[in-house]
Amino acid sequence: MLAALLLGVFQGPNGPEETPFQRDPRPFIALFGIGLMLAAFGHLIKSKLLVGTGLLMMFAGILLVPLFLYLGQGS
């Protein structure tokens, strides 16, 4: 499921000509939400691995993936 989500983030509906600002924000929000749920579940069962993975997913959905997409577009 995560692979399909990331594929949807990196391949926009309009192909490679699409700019990052024309992308649909729903995959980024979904990645953040799944990471939030995973981190919360990790806190409940006291698993540092799940908390860290969830936080990484949240950080990726809000900052890393959009930043890489923007920088990858070039001029």
Give the whole-angstrom CA distance, residue 8 versus residue 15: 11
Give the whole-angstrom CA distance, residue 6 versus residue 70: 15
User: Looking at residue 74, what is its pLDDT?
Assistant: 54
Name the H helices within 1-75.
2-10, 26-44, 48-59, 65-73
**Which residue did the predictor score with more confidence, 11 or 47?**
47
pLDDT tens per residue, range 15-63: 555 554 567 788 888 889 999 999 999 999 999 999 999 999 999 888 8
What angle separates helix 48-59 from helix 26-44, to the nearest 10 degrees? Answer: 160
Counting beta carbons within 10 angstroms of the beta carbon of residue 57, is it exposed (0 to 12), middle (13 to 18) or buried (19 or more)? buried
Categorize the per-residue pLDDT at 72 as very low, low, confident or very high, splitting at 50, 70 and 90: confident
